[in-house]
């Protein structure tokens, strides 16, 4: 009996160690946490009304607070930002909302709300198709971390109007009319994707479920039902973007109908219901890893492909048209985790090693780097590492 007890104890200890195995060495995670805090502290500027704004980088290249970039900071590193700063910054962005419900792409320190990507005097068409979703996710993250449901109640109607503003097809997917191209998801805001969109639709799906959860807390059954229906419609309609031959989703249905590495990994990361598609996506990501990973950082497309259409000229191999980004590294690592854990770990350790040597750039390539001290490059993988740890400890 004693032997059985000891064997059982040993098994449980071994099982516990296996489950709690770190995706990266503890010292690397600690370094990344400190680096993320450094970047968050370094990107702050003061707005005209004394609100602390969190800009995308610590180099002063992005002069304002971008909705999506601040969204990534709050989603992945809420614990590194004072609660009051988060709330005040959300209000600052919401105050820039347009009468038609449009959420600003960014708001400058002087209070000017800017709705479209690109220069103020030469915008890239209509507003990007993702700012609403990031605004919803910002509010949801704040409420989750503070339990301040009253804050949601105070801005819920603004969020509803913003969700209605986002253009969607008859099948419920986020849509850009090819006759009037403009920026899609902001980390590809120079790329001319048109038709029904993968990444922005995934973000819309997320926002719908976030609003469903928030409205459940307020007891508004009608809005719970409404957003649940919108989410379910996306789950049925995303099939339109599926490429059976590759086992991956396209980025869009018309212009730039190309395999979207980021979008597919993100679908796995957020738990979008993929069914049998999930294993095909994971296998594609693993089997083609040499074509889109450099130093743990991720290309939007597999080499040597570049986007078929851009809104402005973007040299192949640079920026959003072929460079490698740390923003998406964690999503790839998470997608590969269950089936290919060694590769998952390698992506993150290679990434952190690269950051330790030269800093978290916005994007890189051979003999090419763009903007050091880029906040999303640090906070996004940190958030994934913490999510993986929580997932392992919850078994």
Q: Give the DSSP letter string of 98-134.
A: -TTSPPPSEE-TTS-EE-SSS-TTS--SSPPSSHHHH
Rounded to an integer, the average pLDDT of 364-388 is: 98
Q: How confident is the model at residue 391 (pLDDT cuts 50, 70, 90)?
A: confident
Q: What is the pLDDT of residue 61?
A: 83
HSE (CB half, 13 Å, CA atoms) of 258? 18
Question: pLDDT digit string (tens) for 62-77?
Answer: 889 999 999 999 999 9
Alpha-carbon span 231 to 235, nearest angstrom: 6
| pLDDT above 70 coverage of the chain, percent | 94
Alpha-carbon span 244 to 158, nearest angstrom: 39
Alpha-carbon span 80 to 76, nearest angstrom: 9
Q: How confident is the model at residue 4 (pLDDT cuts 50, 70, 90)?
A: low
Alpha-carbon span 11 to 108, nearest angstrom: 57
Closest among 266, 158, 146 to 211, alpha carbons compared = 158
Q: How confident is the model at residue 18 (pLDDT cuts 50, 70, 90)?
A: very low
Rounded to an integer, the average pLDDT of 177-197 is: 98
Grouping H, G, I as helix, E, B as strand and the rest as coil, residue 212 is helix
Q: Indicate the pTM of the whole model.
A: 0.94
Rounded to an integer, the average pLDDT of 339-356 is: 98
Q: What is the pLDDT of residue 63?
A: 83
Mean pLDDT of the chain: 94
pLDDT at 332 over 50: yes
Alpha-carbon span 313 to 310, nearest angstrom: 6
pLDDT at 354 over 80: yes
Alpha-carbon span 76 to 92, nearest angstrom: 20
Q: What is the pLDDT of residue 69?
A: 98
């Amino acid at each position: 009996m004693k032997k059985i007890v000891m064997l059982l104890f040993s098994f449980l200890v071994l099982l516990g160690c296996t489950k709690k195995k770190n995706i990266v060495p503890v010292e690397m995670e600690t370094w990344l946490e400190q680096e993320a805090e450094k970047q968050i502290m370094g990107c702050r500027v003061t707005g005209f009304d004394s609100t602390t704004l969190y800009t995308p980088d610590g180099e002063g290249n992005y002069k304002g607070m971008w909705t999506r970039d601040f969204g990534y900071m709050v989603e992945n590193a809420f614990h590194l930002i004072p609660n009051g700063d988060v709330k005040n910054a959300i209000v600052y962005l919401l105050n820039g909302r347009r009468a038609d419900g449009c959420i600003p792409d960014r708001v400058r320190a002087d209070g000017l709300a800017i709705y479209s990507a690109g220069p103020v005097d030469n915008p890239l068409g209509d507003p990007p198709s993702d700012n609403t979703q990031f605004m919803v996710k910002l509010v949801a993250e704040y409420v989750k971390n503070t339990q301040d449901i009253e804050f949601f109640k105070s801005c819920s109607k603004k969020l509803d109007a913003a969700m209605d503003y986002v253009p969607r097809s008859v099948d419920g997917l986020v849509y850009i009319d090819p006759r009037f191209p403009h920026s899609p998801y902001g980390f590809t805001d120079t790329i001319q994707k048109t038709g029904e969109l993968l990444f922005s639709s995934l973000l819309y799906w997320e926002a719908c479920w976030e609003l469903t959860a928030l409205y459940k807390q307020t007891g508004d059954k009608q809005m719970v039902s409404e957003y649940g229906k919108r989410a379910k419609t996306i789950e049925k309609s995303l099939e339109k973007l599926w490429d059976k031959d590759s086992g991956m989703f396209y980025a869009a249905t018309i212009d730039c109908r190309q395999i979207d590495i980021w979008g597919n990994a993100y679908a796995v990361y957020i738990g979008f219901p993929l069914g049998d598609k999930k294993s095909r996506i994971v296998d594609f990501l693993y089997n083609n890893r040499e074509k889109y990973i450099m130093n743990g950082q991720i290309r939007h497309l597999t080499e040597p492909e570049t986007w078929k259409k851009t809104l402005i000229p973007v040299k192949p191999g640079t920026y959003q048209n072929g460079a490698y980004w740390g923003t998406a590294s964690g999503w790839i690592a998470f997608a590969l985790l269950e089936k290919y854990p060694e590769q998952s770990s390698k992506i993150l350790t290679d990434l952190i090693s690269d950051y330790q040597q030269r800093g978290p750039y916005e994007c890189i390539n051979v003999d090419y780097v763009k903007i050091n001290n880029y906040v999303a490059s640090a906070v996004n993988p940190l958030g994934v590492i913490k999510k993986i740890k929580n997932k392992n400890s919850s078994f």
